[in-house]
Structure 1
Amino acid sequence: MCGIHGLYRFDGTRVDPAQLSAMGDVTVHRGPDDEGQHIDPNGRCGIAMRRLSIIDLAGGHQPISNADDSVWLVCNGEIYNFRELRAELQARGYRFKTGSDSEVLLHLYDQMGDDFVHRLDGMFNFALWDERRKRLLIGRDHLGVKPLYVHQSGAMLGFATEAKALLQLPGMRAELNREVLGDYLHLGYVPAPQSMFKGIRKLPPATLLAVENGEVREWRYWRLPSRIDRAPSEAEWVERIRSGMEAAVHRQMVSDVPIGAFLSGGVDSSAVVAYMAKHSEQPIRTYAIGFEGGEAERLYNELPYARQVATLLGTEHHEIVVRPDVVGLLPKLLWHMDEPVADSAFITTYLVSEFARRDVKVILSGVGGDELFGGYRRYLGDHYVRKLQRLPRWSRLLLSRTAGLLPSDRHSTLLNTVRLARGFLASAELSADDRYRAYLQVLERETVAALTRGAGGGSDALAAAFAAAGQDDALNRMFAVDAETQLPDDLLLLTDKMSMAVSLECRVPLLDRQLVELAAAIPESLKVKNGRLKHLMKDALADILPPDILDRKKRGFGTPMGAWLKRDLAPVLRRLLARDVVHDRGLFDADVVARLVADHEAARIDGTDALLALMNLEIWSRLYLDGHSPDDVTAELKSLIA
């Protein structure tokens, strides 16, 4: 695990090693154990890395080359099937210099060319310099677990695991990409291939980019399979899922350093820990987080469930109960994120990562289980719409209008139920695609247009993802859209950035490629059955987890941010989104912003995500556009609530 970066010069000038060093210095948190760089003899291309030592601690230095030094590589991440690949390659006569998992990429490339990526099972981004062809090849893993940013100009092409490394290049400065404001406000994140920085883009998942003879070519090497397999029985699917999950977790336990797991007590993290415990001779180290405070904090406190699972599985369990200094955290975390998000899970992920890093360097997480096996409430839309449509139309309209008049707040059990009902009833008459959009959106596109006065950009990432999905099966169609948008550009991005902010490698075994391809073939009628989310997955886990864990109500891995915005963070929110601040920034209509704040405070809407999106964008702007340090922005914000 590390951070990679590099440069290719189109203009004939030599890559400056000092530039590579500057890119590495700003991402030292990704790899505090080691660093290295290689510049080709003509000076055209330079590749470099910062290393967090996980496998082959002594011999895994990068960049690494093949036997005759004709191909050089830097790789970030882990290749979980490297032992099998290594054995195959050795049988073919390839000699290895190290015990590192990354070295298999070099010899696979020698053997197969660009097709070598089809043999990889892992999370990774890489850069490979082929001296024979004077060719640079960079790539990103199948699901987009590891991010990769690219900047291209007439003189050069730069790449890096973090966007801030590209800002260290001569002539680069942070500029807002206004074209993505619409998607950001609509979804709460910036979907690939765009980024919030003008001139910097994200390489999409499962994508390769090659530079050869001064020409740049980019192509997709893998997509989520679209064929539904209706032949297996329900019992056969249960067994396939059970063996697939166990194999994925076991593969991802390989490490030469201490390893642990996040444990919330939910189905996904509990499944990961259960299979880890089955394949470990020592108790698994597990880490859980809870919040101090009132009702809102208690709603997000899953410690009793985590404790129950830890006791059942005999883990070495560690808990932390926090009342986080959110004002002190936000500037630092948004600097690490590179791009603002409206998902408060980035705060929780950072806090529990920081806690776990005291003991371990590698952590396993249950991220991805909801997408693969049908765990989100939005996947129940068709089920409840069919029930609702049995009512006369006049009664459906009456229900919708009545619900729209009720207060909404996600941090009260009763009002959160009202919030969910309002959202469902408001979207019940829409098409399946538009209903999905309504469940997922942070702000309606009409509100976005009003906020930006129509200048938020014309892109629509969800529409593009639906157009590419091509699924007749409605649930798996949503899965395909998730895999193109929210999963890589929100959940996986924040997981990577927040764990690596504390030099912790986070693995996501439920997004193992083989398991993903298996899940993509399961019919929707079995993934979610009779209104039971994760039906098949839960049946597959019934032999290792109790019913009260498998069937308890879902709670997201976030924070009680909406309540905090009405209490502790209210002065910061009101100042960051004050009329003069909004006017001076020049991005949004101050009247629309003021209305959103007032409606949230009065519980006319639950504006948690929308206000967090706006507030985080302003903090991000102060950091990157205005050039202030995280400490300076923190001091400024704390002065507002002193």
Structure 2
Amino acid sequence: MCGIAGCRLSRPLTPDDLAVLRTLRDSLSHRGPDDQGEWYDSEKGIYLGHRRLSIIDLDQRSAQPMTRDHLRIVYNGETYNYKEIRESLGNRFHFTTEGDTEVVLRAWQNDGAKTLERFDGMFALALYDEETQELVLATDAFGEKPLFYYQTNEGVFFASEAGALIKTFNLSFTPDESEIADFLFLGYIRPPQTGFRGLMNMTPASLARIKADGKMQVSRWWRPAPPIQNDSARAHPFTEEERNRLRDILCRSLALRLRADVPIGLFLSGGVDSSLLAALASRELGIALQTYTVSFPDGMDESRYAAHIAQHLGLPHRTISSAESGLWQDSPRALLDFYGIPNDNMTVLAVEQMCKTAKPFLTVALSGIGGDELFYGYNKYATLYKRRHLYRHAAVAHSVLRKLSSVHQKFYMAAEMLKGTPSRQYLRLKNGPAMSDMESLSAGMPEIFDHASCDLVHQVRLFDLTSSMPQSYIPATDRGSMRAAVEVRAPFLCRELYDFSSSLGLSRLMAFGCKSLPRDLLRRYLPPHCLTPGKQGFTFPAGRYLTQPELITPVVPFWDGHEVDALWAKRAEPDYQTLALRLAILSELSRERRAA
């Protein structure tokens, strides 16, 4: 895990350029406090900068940028199956390190871009070929490692975090209507846009090629298979063979992600996913990981379940109270400091606190992120599956329920849930009663689904996997953990596991309850009293910030001030806290733009 930065310009680099680029690189020092490096070719306008967090092969021989023959690379992340890839390369190359960076470089030299399909890992890389004078930027399959680039008339600058580019080049927040709508309804802006002109966010599994003439071509090297809908037949329970297959895939993924030359721990939420990882590591792999969890005294709190699980498995455990952090007192400013671009996920505050507490004891931590997306774990999936027949005939059902609205309020609410396109139906479920106010504020609403022929639950799951997870959930983990120089690995984010879960079909994954297959497997290792009764979530309570006395009313220049005032007055109501936080973030961004 590291920080990378650099550029490809259409003119030679000047001494002033090098000073700016070193500032850009060193603004990522929290991601890589152990070492720094650079390589550049002034005449060709190329610069590669690196900040290192040493995880595998701690020796200086694995420092970056790394050069082999005509290829040079800066690389952030881990390719967990690097030993297997190295072995497959046979005697073609002479290796001088024991880490994964050299393997990535040699594998690219051997197979080109198609080698990305062999990587089981999380990464963002920049690779320069001196023979072709091509610069390549690439990201991992699930978007675990971030990469942003800033396009100017003179070329492209890139960095691991948006905030580094925004601060270095003094960029201003100038969103268009679609970007504002994205943030209002989703809590983030869908890539590649960011709300900052010229600043782009690379999507998962992206491959960008920048030629010597400055032309950029962006493509995808992998896409998750479209959802399979197979609920025509009656679902049958999972077999022992299927439970064993899940165990075997997860154990392989877990074993690969335990490869490190530094101490490793586990973030244990008390939910099914992280509990299953703890159980498999302990019972199947014989590894007793130190576990950590965060408690939310004023929110949804799974810490007591986590403590019970750790005790049952005989694992050392520590609970950290989120009340100990003071960053939430100015949440909009803190969130922008972490993300750089609009993002309302406050979990980043708890992740940073947990990682700072754990840092004296570990450098790598495992997380259960991804399990909800692969195995339909969120409560909304259960709701959509239960009502799938209504959603299939939404127009007719909406018309009937509207006619019954005068009989009882519940018919009006049900009609509202079924109104409009599948995108609106999902956004109404996501945002609750505040949806109508969002529609009143916004000039438009995001249309977010590509697979209109599938049931809504399928569309939502695929959207979460390809958008919500890499743009909201993963950034909260990455930015929070890297602020403390801790690398977080996700064993559920494995393409073999994704393919397996997708092959099972919706009816079997949902008919017996959310995450029924992982829950079935977990019962082999934990008694019922250790398991949480249902999905509670790992969400930092926004109300802690919003209910503070004497908060200043947001000023959002895009909308009428009286309407914003009226919505802000509702900020203590749980149904309006998400919208209120988004208004506060937009206000802070607008304030920064006015100050600039």
**Aligned partner (choices 385, 388, 406) of residue 387 of structure 2:** 385
Alignment of 1:621-640 (within 5 A): 621-622=590-591, 626=595
Cα gap change, 1:330/1:357 in structure 2, threshold over 3 Å: closer, same or farther? farther
User: Which of 413, 428, 450 pairs up with 1:438?
Assistant: 428
Q: Does 1:240 align with 2:245?
A: yes
Structure 1 residues 225 and 62: alpha-carbon distance in aligned structure 2, compared to 1, 3 A threshold: same
| Alignment partner, residue 95 of structure 1 | 94
- Post-superposition CA distance 1:465-520 (Å, at most 9, x none): x21x4663654332211122111110011111111111111111111222122222
Q: In 2, are the aligned partners of 1:34 and 1:50 still within 8 Å (CA)?
A: yes
**Of 586, 591, 596, which aligns to 2:562?**
591
- Tell me the equivalent position of 1:278: 283
Query: For 2:108, what is the secondary structure of its paired residue?
Result: helix
Q: Distance in 2 between matches of 1:245 and 1:264?
A: 18
Alpha-carbon distance in 1 for matches of 2:420, 2:441 = 24
For residues 92 and 398 of structure 1, do their structure 2 counterparts lie closer, same or farther at Cα, with a shift above 3 Å needed? farther
- State the shift of 1:45 in Å: 1.0
Q: How many Å separate the matches in 2 of 1:84 and 1:322?
A: 41
Q: Name whichever of 433-442 and 44-53 sits farther off.
A: 433-442
1:113 deviation in Å?
1.2
Report whether the alignment pairs 1:175 with 2:173.
yes
Contact 2:10 2:44 in 1 (8 A): no
How far does residue 98 in structure 1 lie from its aligned partner after superposition? 1.3
Distance 1:321 1:586 in 2: 37
**Contact conserved, 2:281 with 2:287, CA < 8 A, in 1?**
no
Alignment counterpart, residue 612 of structure 1, candidates 554, 562, 581: 581
Q: Does 1:526 align with 2:528?
A: no
C-alpha distance in structure 1 between counterparts of 2:482 and 2:514, whole Å = 32
Asked if the contact 1:347–1:558 (Cα under 8 Å) also holds between the matched residues in 2, the reply is no
- Residues 139 and 401 of structure 1: CA distance in aligned 2, closer, same or farther (over 3 Å): same
Q: Structure 1: how far apart are the matches of 2:13 and 2:571?
A: 55
Letter in 1 for 2:176: R
Equivalent of 2:441 in 429, 442, 451: 451
Q: Distance in 2 between matches of 1:219 and 1:484?
A: 15
Does residue 226 (structure 1) correspond to residue 226 (structure 2)? The answer is: yes
Residue type at the aligned position of 2:55: I
Letter aligned with residue 276 of structure 2: A
Distance 1:624 1:239, change over 3 A: farther
Letter of the 2:364 counterpart = V
Letter in 1 for 2:311: T
Does the CA-based 8 Å contact 2:37-2:64 persist in structure 1? yes
Could you tell me how far apart the structure 1 residues matched to 2:403 and 2:452 are? 35
Unaligned stretches of 5+ in structure 2?
none
Distance 2:382 2:281 in 1: 30
Moved more, 483-492 or 242-251: 242-251
Gap change, CA 1:624 and 1:279, over 3 Å in 2? farther
1:353-368 → structure 2 map (5 Å cutoff):
353-368=355-370
Q: For residue 545 of structure 1, what is the amino acid of its counterpart?
A: L
8 Å CA contact 1:191, 1:485 repeated in 2: yes
Equivalent position of 1:23 in the other structure:
24
Q: Once the two structures are superposed, what CA deviation does each residue of 1:185-233 show, in whole Å capped at 9, x if it has no partner?
A: 1111111111132220101111100011312111111100126497998
- The yes-or-no answer on 1:258 pairing with 2:274 is no
Check whether the contact 1:372–1:520 (CA below 8 A) recurs between aligned residues.
yes
Question: Higher mean Cα deviation, 606-615 or 232-241?
Answer: 232-241
Q: What is the DSSP-based 3-state SS (H/G/I as helix, E as strand, rest coil) of the residue aligned with 1:97?
A: coil
- What is the CA distance between 1:446 and its match in structure 2? 5.6
Q: Would the alpha carbon gap of residues 399 and 8 (structure 1) be closer, same or farther in structure 2, given more than 3 Å must change?
A: farther
Matched to 2:575, the amino acid is D
State the 1:300 CA deviation. 2.2
Aligned with 1:348: secondary structure?
Answer: helix
The alpha-carbon distance between structure 1 residues 471 and 126, as it changes in their structure 2 partners (threshold 3 A), is: farther
Worse-matched range after superposition: 224-233 or 482-491: 224-233
Q: 1:428, 1:75 → 2: CA distance?
A: 46
Deviation string 1:368-393 (CA, Å, 9 cap, x unpaired) is 11111011111123443269899995
- TM-score scaled to structure 1, two decimals? 0.83
Structure 1 residues 64 and 271, CA gap change in structure 2 (3 angstroms): same
**Alpha-carbon spacing, 1:218–1:388, altered in 2? closer, same or farther (3 Å):** closer
Contact preservation (8 Å) 2:335, 2:346? no
Q: 1:474 to 1:247 in 2, by over 3 A?
A: farther
Report the 3-state secondary structure (helix = DSSP H, G, I; strand = E; otherwise coil) of the residue aligned with 2:198: coil
For residue 401 of structure 1, the aligned residue among 402, 405, 409 is 409
CA deviation after TM superposition for structure 1 residue 399, in Å: 8.5
How far off is 1:426 after superposition?
A: 4.1
Is the 1:225–1:521 Cα contact (8 Å) retained in structure 2? Answer: no
Report the alpha carbon displacement of residue 158 of structure 1 after superposing the two structures with TM.
0.9
Provide Cα deviations, 1:217-255, integer angstroms capped at 9, x if missing partner: 111111001264979983143332222222212211111
Structure 1 distance, partners of 2:180, 2:95, is 48
- In percent, how many aligned pairs have the same letter? 30
Matches within 5 A, 1:342-357: 342-357=344-359
Write the distance in 2 (CA, Å) between the matches of 1:190 and 1:393. 33
**Contact kept in structure 2, 1:335 and 1:620, CA below 8 Å:** no
List aligned pairs for 1:308-327, cutoff 5 A.
308-323=308-323, 324-325=325-326, 326-327=328-329
Work out whether 1:51 is the aligned partner of 2:52.
yes
Quote the Cα distance in structure 1 between the aligned partners of 2:263 and 2:38. Answer: 28
Farther off after superposition, 476-485 or 325-334: 325-334
Change in CA separation of 1:327 and 1:268 when aligned onto 2, cut-off 3 Å = same
Residue 352 to residue 442, structure 1, CA distance change in 2 (3 Å):
farther
C-alpha change, 1:471 and 1:14, in structure 2 (3 Å) is farther
- Aligned residues of 1:287 and 1:352 also touching (Cα < 8 A): yes
Separation in structure 1 between the aligned mates of residue 589 and residue 266 of structure 2, nearest angstrom: 30
2:126 matched to which residue of 1? 127
Among 353, 368, 375, the residue aligned to 2:377: 375
Letter matched to residue 537 of structure 2: G
What is the CA distance between 1:20 and its match in structure 2? 2.1
Closer, same or farther: CA 398–379 of 1 in aligned 2, 3 Å = farther
1:449 Cα offset (Å): 5.1
AA in 2 matched with 1:28 = S
1:525 Cα deviation (Å)? Answer: 0.6
1:63 aligned partner: 65
Aligned counterpart, 1:571? 550
The alpha-carbon distance between structure 1 residues 386 and 259, as it changes in their structure 2 partners (threshold 3 A), is closer
Please report the TM-score for the alignment, with normalisation by the length of structure 2.
0.89
Report the counterpart of residue 520 of structure 2 in structure 1: 539
**Aligned to 2:387, what secondary structure does the other structure show?**
helix
Residue 109 of structure 1, CA deviation: 1.2
Cα distance in 2, alignment partners of residues 541 and 77 from structure 1: 29
SS of structure 2 residue aligned to 1:595: helix
The answer on whether the counterparts of 2:374 and 2:498 sit within 8 Å (CA) in structure 1 is yes
**Partner Cα distance (2:47, 2:197) in 1:** 24
Q: Which secondary structure state, in structure 1, belongs to the residue aligned with residue 504 of structure 2?
A: coil
Report the CA distance shift for 1:448/1:611 in structure 2 as closer, same or farther (over 3 A).
same
Q: 1:624 to 1:302 in 2, by over 3 A?
A: farther
Gap runs ≥5 in structure 1: 405-421, 628-642
Q: Which one of 470, 473, 479 corresponds to residue 497 of structure 1? A: 479
Output aligned runs, 1:104-253, within 5 Å. Answer: 104-167=103-166, 169=168, 172-179=170-177, 180-214=179-213, 215-226=215-226, 228=228, 234-235=238-239, 236-253=241-258
Q: Is the 8 A contact 2:4 2:49 kept in 1?
A: yes
> For 2:275, what is the secondary structure of its paired residue?
helix
Q: Which residue identity is paired with 1:526? A: R
Partner of 1:36: 37
| Residues 20 and 587 of structure 1, relative CA distance in 2, 3 Å threshold | same
Indicate yes or no: 2:342 matched with 1:340: yes
Which amino acid is the alignment partner of residue 370 of structure 2? G
Q: What residue is the counterpart of 1:640 in the other structure?
A: none
Residues 485/229 of structure 1: CA separation in 2 closer, same or farther (3 Å cut): closer
Native 8 Å contact 2:166 2:340 kept in 1: no
264-273 or 432-441, which deviates more: 432-441
Query: Offset of 1:44 from its aligned partner?
Result: 2.1
Task: Report whether the alignment pairs 1:4 with 2:4.
Answer: yes
SS of 1:606's partner is helix
Aligned-partner Cα distance in 2 for 1:537–1:161: 33
Provide Cα deviations, 1:85-119, integer angstroms capped at 9, x if missing partner. Answer: 11112x14211121121111111111111111111
Is contact 1:564-1:570 (8 Å) kept?
no
